Amino acid sequence: MEPQERSQLVTRLLEEATRMQAMLEQAMAAKEREAAQIEASGHITDDEPTPTPVSTLEEQYDAWEKIARALSDIQTELNRIAQAEQQSMQR
């Protein structure tokens, strides 16, 4: 695989991780608003479906955040490798 292809692949994965984090941030905010509304209304029934807990969304967010950091590190290392390869070709 060419250095440019590797870089593009990691960039696409990093974009996906960032997109997933943004989506989870929105979901967490919506869950918090929903919980506040339910608490304020005092209307809680046993027959309502149990929503996904915010903690589960936070765990998913944390996992995507770790993935994004790792991909960023990979991108940095790939850039270093590409520079070293380019310098060795120039000699």
Task: Indicate yes or no: pTM above 0.85.
Answer: no
Provide the residue ranges of all domains of the chain, joining segments of one domain with +: 3-90
Cα pseudo-dihedral 41, 47, 52, 55, rounded to 10: 60
* Residue matched to tokens 């996904």: 52
Contact 30, 9 (CB under 8 A): no
Q: Give me the pLDDT at residue 69, please.
A: 98
Q: Give me the pLDDT at residue 38, please.
A: 77
pLDDT tens across 7-55, in order? 999 999 999 999 999 999 999 999 889 888 877 887 666 666 666 777 8
Query: Around 78, how many Cα atoms within 13 Å sit in the side-chain half-sphere?
Result: 17
Segment (H or E) for 15: helix 3-41
